[in-house]
Amino acid sequence: MGDDANEEDLALMARVARGDEEAFAQLVKKHQHAVIGTVAKMTNHSADSEDIAQQVFLRLWKSAKRYQPTAKFTTFLFTITRNLVFNATRKKSRRKESSLDEQEDDWHKSIEDDTPGSRPDQSLAQSELQKVIDQAIASLPEKQRIAVILRRYEQMPYEEIASVLKLSVSAVKSQLFRARNSLREALEPYLKE
């Protein structure tokens, strides 16, 4: 995202701080897909994904008056996202909920989302591979997982990821290196096929 986009976000956020609901709607519309996608990937597409994404924007609205543009707007937005996902993940692990029902729902959704005209066996293999990739990413430690998602899916620069994770750029690169090695090991049996 360029400087013009950031300036637009900052201007909208200043309007939101004054209670401008239209500006808030514009921010939500502009960033909702990235936030929802990031939350879904971080939570392995759990049923909580949309609720957490809504909480991100609710938190954004509530913090608008205190917001200080010390970094890019998206850094602020994805820091909120990271914190809410980590909190939800910790709560869920404390409750030790079984995610078998969620995984089964995700499996059914991925089958229903097959593209028309594709071969069923190819679609099934593709959805199985995507499920394995999603599970491998979900099994990464939290910081590695968010670093991979922000870099791979949001194309975020190392510096911005460092701000979101409150790490140095070299630490982010180290997190990504370890994550790639873990993913390579986890996916190796599938890559040989």
Q: How do residues 101-114 score in pLDDT, each as one tens digit?
A: 444 444 444 434 44
Domain 1-97 coded CATH 1.10.1740.10: yes
Overall average pLDDT of the 67-79 stretch: 90
Please tell me whether residue 167 adopts helix, strand or coil conformation: coil
Region for 77 from its dihedrals, namely left if φ exceeds 0, alpha if ψ lies in -120 to 50, beta otherwise: alpha
- Owner of token pair 């401008």: 20
- Is the pLDDT score of 191 beyond 90? no
pLDDT for res 186: 87
User: For the residues 129-153, what does the mean pLDDT come to?
Assistant: 87
pLDDT confidence bin for 25, thresholds 50/70/90 = very high
Q: Are the C-beta atoms of residues 21 and 128 closer than 8 Å to each other?
A: no
**pLDDT computed for residue 45 by the predictor:** 77
Compare 127 and 22 and report the one with higher pLDDT.
22
**Alpha helices (H) along the chain:** 3-17, 21-42, 49-63, 73-95, 100-112, 120-138, 142-152, 158-165, 169-191
* Arithmetic mean of pLDDT over the chain: 82
Is the entire prediction scored with pTM above 0.75? Answer: no
Q: In the predicted model, is pLDDT for residue 129 greater than 90?
A: no
pLDDT at 164 over 70: yes
Do the beta carbons of residue 164 and residue 77 sit within 8 Å?
no
Closest C-alpha among 85, 176, 179, 187 to residue 130: 187
